[in-house]
Chain A
Amino acid sequence: QVQLQESGPGLVKPSETLSLTCAVSTYPISSGYYWSWIRQPPGKGLEWIGNIDHSGSTNYNPSLKSRVTISVDTSKNQFSLKLNSVTAADTAMYYCARSAFGSYSDYWGQGTLVTVSS
């Protein structure tokens, strides 16, 4: 059973940078798979943000690409999300997940709510 746990500030001011980390347990990131960030605004659907593999190769949602950076630290078995120049529209539950190439996400973190407000 792969376990993922998101952490980071629950409140971010407009125009600042949202930073989250996902700690992975019981499965080495270096063993494979893609590691994804997915978000869900309150009352709305899921939105794929992007993913990264163990080598650091990334793919991003075109609508967020200019503001997003996903990185991986295999020594700590964790990966991170940075989203800059945030606005109220970035308020959402943010999930990290393990994903097969191009395909499904089989293990998810519990999610962390990030609110953008001054």
Chain B
Amino acid sequence: GNSVTQMEGPVTLSEEAFLTINCTYTATGYPSLFWYVQYPGEGLQLLLKATKADDKGSNKGFEATYRKETTSFHLEKGSVQVSDSAVYFCALRSNSGGSNYKLTFGKGTLLTVNP
């Protein structure tokens, strides 16, 4: 079945530091890949997505590239801010067709950015 593995947290960085959160996946075919973010006390929000190999998703300074050869979708940001403190989830959706668009999530990585 499908699965997502992301780096264990928590991750603690200083403001303006470089961020990488690793994510690898197992899936049949060509899944779509996503990063969701959950701020304290809130629901999940889509951060970025990529639907095919070599696509780069980007939003709010975050980037992730769909690497089929390494089955990875690592999240990066060049300079983090305190407001980026949140839990980050990597997820995949199998494109087997139909109207079933359920996501399989990784366990989440807690990021804390200190001023």
Chain B associates with chain A = no
Interfacial residues, chain B to chain A (CB-CB below 8 A)? none
Enumerate chain A interface residues (CB-CB to B < 8 A). none
